[in-house]
Chains A and B, each alone.
Chain A
Amino acid sequence: MQTRAHPGPPEGAFVAPPALTTVRARTLFTPLDTGGRADTVTRRLAKAIRLGLLLDGERLPAESQLAGQLGVSTVTLREALATLRTMGLVETRRGRGGGSFVRAPDDPDRLERPLRLLSLHELRDIGDHRAAIAGTAARLAAERALPADVTTLRDHAERLRGAAALTDRRRADARLHIEIAATAQSPRLTREEMDLWSEIGDLVWLPMEGADVAPAARDHDRLIDAIEAHAPERAREIAERHVAAETGRLLDLRLSLHQR
């Protein structure tokens, strides 16, 4: 049994963490299981950039260090970085002050690119997946919310109302939906919302470029009202309709891209 006389960790055990050994490092840079592959590394880094965990202009650690953190060889990492450069998500500069830098500007053209790669069928399927997660999360949140949870949700809804830039809106919206899944008391649904938003968060707000945030905000208010009133079925329905409306707007935009 440990007592108060426990000596604690050996001296020097509590060293300052190296770059990226933070919580985002833990979510996104935990060593890959099976030897690691370039496309897995690519996906993981792309996800970190899309989620906003790696910010525009942020410098990635040195190749050897990053490769070490990811548990892959530098060759594999270079392959992944080359793909990310092609995707326009990373820029590599040579010479003094050089290195690999994250590129995530608030640029609608860059954002439209992934939409062009998705078929209408795939967009519909993403909508189905989102509705399943968000609908269930809303229903369970309405069953399980405490008053303090509702206060937190209202704070996040307010934050989204005040967000102006596209990326800010996307992040605030993601945060609200993640918070609803957390209110459902489900780490798995929360993780699922985090994954979904990192994958398609850019797309959700794409048709809303320059648009009024008020209709989405009204949906969120009604959803939080239903959660507060412990009305699970109403909450689920509002969440599903909200996702259906967003999917509809995406399908519209996808069709209009085809015409250009």
Chain B
Amino acid sequence: MTPPPMTPPQTTPPPMAPPPATGGPAAGEGEHLLAGITALIERVLASVTEVAEAMTAVAAAARTGRRPLRRADLAALRPLVAQVLARHRGFAAGAGVVLAPDALADAPRCIDWWWADQGIGQLEVDLDPASAEFYDYTTTEWYREPARTGQPCIAGPYVDYICTHKYTFTVSVPVVDDGRFVGVAGADILAGEVERMLLPGLSLLRRANRPAVLVSGDGRVIASGTASILPGTVLRPAGPVTAAGPLPWKLLSGPGLANAAGR
């Protein structure tokens, strides 16, 4: 990465001034902007991975012991789940594990999810497919994607009216034992907290007349540095973008942002 070239101050810059063709201040600042939030999310991901690894061990112990995996076996994971909530207090609002249908011998479906607010509580949802209020977690992005790809995923942002009641991301990690998909471990991250971390950088870029917008892999606006593009709307990224390291997120600025906003 070459250091950003010095540019003479512009007296009356046009809105969304295009950055220089290669490198450019926006790209450098963009990477800097994303470094902090990426590191924080990766720490949550590391904590969730510990839960996933423990769940793999629990499943493996049942398999090698030639006994069925049961609901009660999940109790061993709870201290680790509590640790996720304690370590990332105020950032991760919920955490737990969900099981693939028929992974347990004594429950066709199971969600062992805990939320942290004033205290800690267990999420209770209707898991009976015949019920009108059936909560089918297998259709959620945070379950479906790790199940399909075998890779960790960050789903959202989405309105989580089931657990956090807020605009939320869910980080999830697949649990695979002996080639068999057992379920996922995950944590809910509040979108407001993510935005709070990005806002100083975004407003700096805005003041420098290089407004930037962070979008999810689907093009959903996570945080916007311009009032003309609303958070939660969908943009079609076009042109150069700054990838957020291992996250599927992209930072749009300059002409790429102008094109995307023209949807």
B166 x A187 contact (CB < 8 A): yes
B73 within 8 A of A: no
0/1 interface trace, chain B 114-152, chain A, CB 8 Å (1 if under) = 010101111111000001111010010100000000000
Return chain B residues, CB-CB under 8 Å to A194.
161
B87 x A8 contact (CB < 8 A): yes
A76 within 8 A of B: no
Q: Which A residues, 175 to 201, have Cβ-Cβ distances below 8 Å to chain B?
A: 175, 178, 181-182, 185-187, 190-191, 194
Q: For the complex, what is the distance from the CA of A146 to the CA of B139, rounded to whole Å?
A: 14
Return chain A residues, CB-CB under 8 Å to B233.
143-144, 185
Chain B nearest Cβ from A245, distance in angstroms: 22
0/1 interface trace, chain A 69-85, chain B, CB 8 Å (1 if under) = 00000000000000000
**Chain A, residue nearest B122 (CB):** A17
A168 within 8 A of B: yes
Given contacts A146-B219, A175-B133, 14 further A-B contacts (CB under 8 A): A8-B79, A14-B78, A21-B121, A22-B124, A23-B115, A23-B125, A144-B232, A144-B234, A145-B234, A146-B218, A148-B141, A167-B132, A169-B132, A187-B161
Question: Please, could you name 7 A-B residue pairs with CB atoms under 8 Å apart, sorted by A?
Answer: A13-B86, A17-B122, A26-B115, A26-B117, A143-B234, A144-B233, A148-B218
B83 x A6 contact (CB < 8 A): yes
Instruction: Specify which of B82, B122, B132 is in contact with A163 (CB 8 Å cutoff).
Output: B132
B133 x A52 contact (CB < 8 A): yes
Interface residues on B, range: 35 or more
Return chain B residues, CB-CB under 8 Å to A155.
136, 139
Return chain B residues, CB-CB under 8 Å to A222.
none
Return chain A residues, CB-CB under 8 Å to B115.
23, 26
Q: Which B residues, 224 to 241, have Cβ-Cβ distances below 8 Å to chain A?
A: 231-234
Instruction: Specify which of B131, B141, B162, B231 is in contact with A23 (CB 8 Å cutoff).
Output: B162
Interface residue ranges, B against A (CB under 8 Å)? 78-79, 81-83, 86-87, 115, 117, 119-125, 131-134, 136, 139, 141, 157-159, 161-163, 165-167, 218-220, 231-234
Return chain A residues, CB-CB under 8 Å to B131.
168
0/1 interface trace, chain A 14-34, chain B, CB 8 Å (1 if under) = 100100011111110000000
Return chain A residues, CB-CB under 8 Å to B218.
146, 148
Q: Which A residues, 117 to 176, have Cβ-Cβ distances below 8 Å to chain B?
A: 143-146, 148, 151-152, 155, 159, 163, 167-172, 175
A2 within 8 A of B: yes
A190 x B159 contact (CB < 8 A): yes
Q: For the complex, what is the distance from the CA of A38 to the CA of B169, rounded to whole Å?
A: 38
B132 x A175 contact (CB < 8 A): yes
Chain B nearest Cβ from A159, distance in angstroms: 7
Known: A146-B220, A185-B159, A186-B159. A26 touches B87 (CB 8 A): no
A9 x B83 contact (CB < 8 A): yes
Q: Which 4 A-B pairs have the closest CB atoms?
A: A185-B232, A22-B124, A8-B83, A182-B159
Q: For the complex, what is the distance from the CA of A193 to the CA of B166, rounded to whole Å?
A: 14
Known: A23-B124, A144-B234. A14 touches B79 (CB 8 A): yes
Known: A9-B86, A167-B132, A178-B161. A24 touches B139 (CB 8 A): no
**Chain B, residue nearest A183 (CB):** B159
B121 x A152 contact (CB < 8 A): no
Return chain B residues, CB-CB under 8 Å to A21.
119, 121-122
**Chain B, residue nearest A147 (CB):** B218
B165 x A191 contact (CB < 8 A): yes
| Most chain B CB neighbours (cut-off 10 Å) among A25, A27, A148, A175 | A148
B132 x A152 contact (CB < 8 A): no
| Most chain B CB neighbours (cut-off 10 Å) among A14, A163, A178 | A14
Chain B nearest Cβ from A158, distance in angstroms: 11
Return chain B residues, CB-CB under 8 Å to A24.
124
Chain A nearest Cβ from B49, distance in angstroms: 11
**Chain B, residue nearest A179 (CB):** B161
